[in-house]
Chains A and B, each alone.
Chain A
Amino acid sequence: MHMPLEDTLGLNLLAANQHQAEHNRDHFDAWQLLCLNVMSSPGAGKTSLLERTLTALATDLEMAVLEGDMTTQLDANRLEAVGIPVVPITTGRACHLDAAMVSGGLRLLKQRLDPASLDLLWVENVGNLVCPAEFEVGEHRKVALLSVTEGDDKPLKYPVMFREAHCVLITKTDLLPYLPVDIEQIEEHIRAVNPRCAVIRVSASSGEGLETWHQWVREQLTAVVNASVRALVTA
């Protein structure tokens, strides 16, 4: 007869993923690049936005994209056409990217270029407002998109995604004249679950808000690279 024992672990349930995510981020910091994890429901406009953003920022920034999709490389092909290196990550049945998948994508990316030459690494996650919110991939910042066609209630229905985001982009604002939707209400609901995030209204079609969005990206790049340099100096 053996005595029953109890071990207190106090471990994160996702410790295995978290460990890999921190490993990825250590690499990003060593390469002094900013990694952004872009998330939204399917069809919110992630790829269209990235097409515009990559084109605009490519004038002075070196970038690459890890493109997550459950099936097909259609989005990866669209972004590759912009002239930016893209590594497709096909997740199969998985509804989100995890840190190990991104690590695998990085290995493929390293066959094409030296990551230390990059300023920015974009991770376009699988279209889903639930699962990607809980799985860190090593990103420095999370960006969530919400299109005006999805209605104003989504931040309340899927609060974890919007709570975790550092920046929420309200997309497709060019469609507002044709929709019975109140953009002030959308923004109010985002701020109800996350009063601290940046909220930017954008349209990849008309270009509205893109300058503000790109400025936000540049500010994060400066902040993250400065922090990486400081860490190297004090190490």
Chain B
Amino acid sequence: MHEIDMTKCLVLSMQQWRQQHAPHTPLVRRVHLQVGSFTCVEPDQLVTTWKAAVRDSWLDGTVLIIETVPLVGRCVVCNTTYEPDPEQAYRSPCCDHPMEEIVSGRELRIRSVDYVLNDSAQPTFATATAV
């Protein structure tokens, strides 16, 4: 259940991002993530742990939107890109070559944050509940 630890990292990054806006407290609507399909992340579990982690914190109600990035490899023999298939041992269909180069699929990225700035809000320092 490493999604819990990933969520902790995400909350820490969000807290650092919030400090950039001090003394305002941004009201976050959505956090957009890019998660590669060749990672150890289960998006549904990440959403579940996120909801639990931010409950009663300044991020409560924030929606986590996860864009899955497909695994794409590049055959180093003929330079063609392909979607490696586990059933084919990830080998390139063009030249039957091992998966040497990965073009995409290893992403674990906080892409962007949608928010509004509430001018009247005083900065609060509530810490997101760690799970």
Task: Report which A residues bind B (CB closer than 8 A).
Answer: 2-17, 93-96, 98, 130-131, 133-135, 156-157, 159-160, 163, 188-189, 191-196
Contact = CB atoms under 8 A, between A and B. Distances in A.
B98 A7 contact: no
A77 B39 CA distance: 34
A10 B98 contact: no
Interface of B: 1-2, 5-6, 8-10, 12-13, 17, 26, 29, 33, 35, 38-41, 86, 89-91, 98-100, 102, 108-119
Contact of A135 (B5, B91, B100): B5
Given A2-B117, A194-B99, 14 more contacts: A5-B26, A6-B112, A6-B113, A9-B13, A12-B110, A13-B108, A14-B9, A17-B5, A131-B2, A133-B40, A134-B2, A134-B41, A160-B40, A193-B90
Contacts of A5: 26, 114-117
A96 B110 contact: no
15 contacts: A2-B117, A6-B115, A7-B17, A7-B115, A9-B13, A9-B112, A11-B13, A13-B110, A96-B5, A130-B2, A134-B108, A159-B86, A192-B89, A194-B99, A195-B100
A135 B109 CA distance: 14
